[in-house]
Amino acid sequence: MSFLRPRRLYFMLKPYLKMISKWDMIIMVFLIFISFLPLVIFTISQKDVPKDAEVYALITVDNQEYKKITLSNHQGTDTIRYENEDGDYNIIEIKDETIRVIEASCRDQVDVLKGAISKPGETLLCLPHKLAIEIKTEQPEDTEEDEIIRPS
Amino acid sequence: MLQSMTKNQKIVYIALLAAQAVVIGLVERAIPFPFTFAPGAKLGLANLVTLLAIYTLPFKDSFMVVAIRLILNTLLGGTLSTFMIGFSGALFSYFGMFLIKNLGGSKVSTIGVSTAGGILHNIGQLVAVSLLYHSWSFMVYLPIISFIGVFSGFAIGICATFLMERIQLLRQFKMEQMTKQKELKS
């Protein structure tokens, strides 16, 4: 595995590294900059939310509200089992002020791997079951936050 | 010596590229991705085929390759929502790469084009997810996924350059495409 040695790797890649032109760099930096924009908009809009706002988790299935769970001052452990007509299920656990999916019958397990979430704006997604868990805050700011983020 | 592709050659070439893209996509789906912090992040190996198509075929035919790949990938184990997400990602990256390649000309290398394609693919996918779920909070993942996209785009750019240098047929198709474009411009 001689190509794994850094020096050798550098000499192998050198002709290709030279290929990168000024415009390549400009495009790359521009696109990375763009990809940070949503995060920046998000943190700015989150700043307005007062600390005492009530945090809750909204569980939606196919964009229809399924359950709303208050997370502020929640203590102990609760589990919710969601099951659809096809027998697919997600087991959701609320522990103190965090929420996570501990078990899912879907293939990719993205929601289980993501772990626990607790901050406003964080989400858990189960694309195969069209299940989404979002953390939101109960305040009049909630509608305003939507307006800021939607560009249309 | 340079003779242009016959119609049948072109059809076979398009079919081959599309088939390769589908297989690469299936193989890629079987690789479990180890990063938990960026759900849904992928290497985007199918981008390699799109890149080759853009460099060796005219617009109409390279678009055909992308469209066939999307439809076949959906038929081979996809749902409507994954189709819409993949559709938006692939279209974003295809048009982005096409524009950058044609506007940039010789100023932009294969690596730049493929990196842009990788990042635009992610942006397109996340926009589709956000529209499907009426929530823009998924866009927060974008920086992490973009960084992965830069590295995989870099690797795929090198790969495509290598293939277009070493495989005689690909080199020939690329030269043909370049001369055709020069004729159009002049």
The complex scores an ipTM of 0.75
Q: Is pLDDT of A74 > 90? A: no
Query: Which pLDDT does position B98 carry in this prediction?
Result: 92
Asked if the C-beta of B4 comes within 8 angstroms of chain A's C-beta atoms, the answer is no
Query: Which pLDDT does position B41 carry in this prediction?
Result: 59
More confident site: B152 or B35: B152
Distance CA A4, CA B158 (A): 17
Q: Is pLDDT of B39 > 70? A: no
More confident site: B148 or B1: B148
Q: Is pLDDT of B171 > 60? A: yes
Question: How confident is the model over A116-121, as a mean pLDDT?
Answer: 77
pLDDT digits 0-9 by tens, A95-107: 888 888 888 887 6
Q: Which of the residue ranges A103-107, B118-122, B144-148 has the most confident prediction, judged by mean pLDDT?
A: B118-122
| Distance in Å, alpha carbon of A38 to nearest chain B alpha carbon | 6
Pairing of strands A54-61, A64-70: antiparallel
Distance CA B137, CA A46 (A): 11
Asked if the C-beta of A13 comes within 8 angstroms of chain B's C-beta atoms, the answer is yes
Give the residue from chain B lying closest to A40, CA to CA.
Answer: B140
Give the residue from chain A lying closest to B120, CA to CA.
Answer: A31
Architecture of domain B7-180 in this structure: Orthogonal Bundle (1.10)
Ranges A18-22, A31-35, B121-125: which has the least confidence:
A18-22
Which of A9, A18, A23, A119 has the most B C-beta neighbours within 10 Å, making it the best mutation to test the interface with B?
A23
- Contacts A125 to B, Cβ<8 Å: 39, 129, 133, 138
Asked if residue B36 lies in contact with residue A108, where contact means CB atoms within 8 angstroms, the answer is no
List Cα–Cα distances, B134 to A9, A49, A72, A143, B3, in angstroms: 46, 20, 24, 13, 52
Asked if the C-beta of B123 comes within 8 angstroms of chain A's C-beta atoms, the answer is yes
Burial of B17 from C-beta contacts in 10 A (0-12 / 13-18 / 19+): buried
List Cα–Cα distances, B145 to B40, B121, B125, in angstroms: 9, 10, 11
pLDDT digits 0-9 by tens, A40-53: 887 787 776 666 67
User: Helix, strand, or coil here: B42?
Assistant: coil
Q: Is pLDDT of B65 > 70? A: yes
Q: Name the residue with tokens 């089992």.
A: A81
CB contact under 8 A, B133 and A121: no
Q: Is pLDDT of A141 > 50? A: no
Which amino acid belongs to residue B75? L
Distance CA A91, CA A109 (A): 12
Question: How confident is the model over B36-48, as a mean pLDDT?
Answer: 67
Domains in chain B: boundaries: 7-180
Give me chain B's average pLDDT, please.
Answer: 83
Q: Is pLDDT of B94 > 90? A: yes
Q: Is pLDDT of B152 > 50? A: yes
Domains in chain A: boundaries: 2-47, 54-149
To the nearest 10 degrees (0 to 180), the angle between helices B47-56 and B59-75 is 160
Q: Which residues 84-113 of chain B have a CB within 8 Å of chain A?
A: 85, 100, 104, 107-112
DSSP category for residue B134: T
Distance CA A82, CA A59 (A): 10
Contacts 24+ apart (CB under 8 A), A108-112: A108/B40, A110/B39, A110/B40, A111/B39
Query: Which pLDDT does position B1 carry in this prediction?
Result: 43
Distance CA B184, CA B177 (A): 11
Q: Which of the residue ranges A5-14, A82-91, B4-13, B16-25 has the most confident prediction, judged by mean pLDDT?
A: B16-25
Query: Which pLDDT does position A102 carry in this prediction?
Result: 83
Topology (CATH) of A54-149: mini-chromosome maintenance (MCM) complex, domain 2 (2.60.320)
Asked if the C-beta of B83 comes within 8 angstroms of chain A's C-beta atoms, the answer is no
Which amino acid belongs to residue A70? T
CB contact under 8 A, A31 and B120: yes
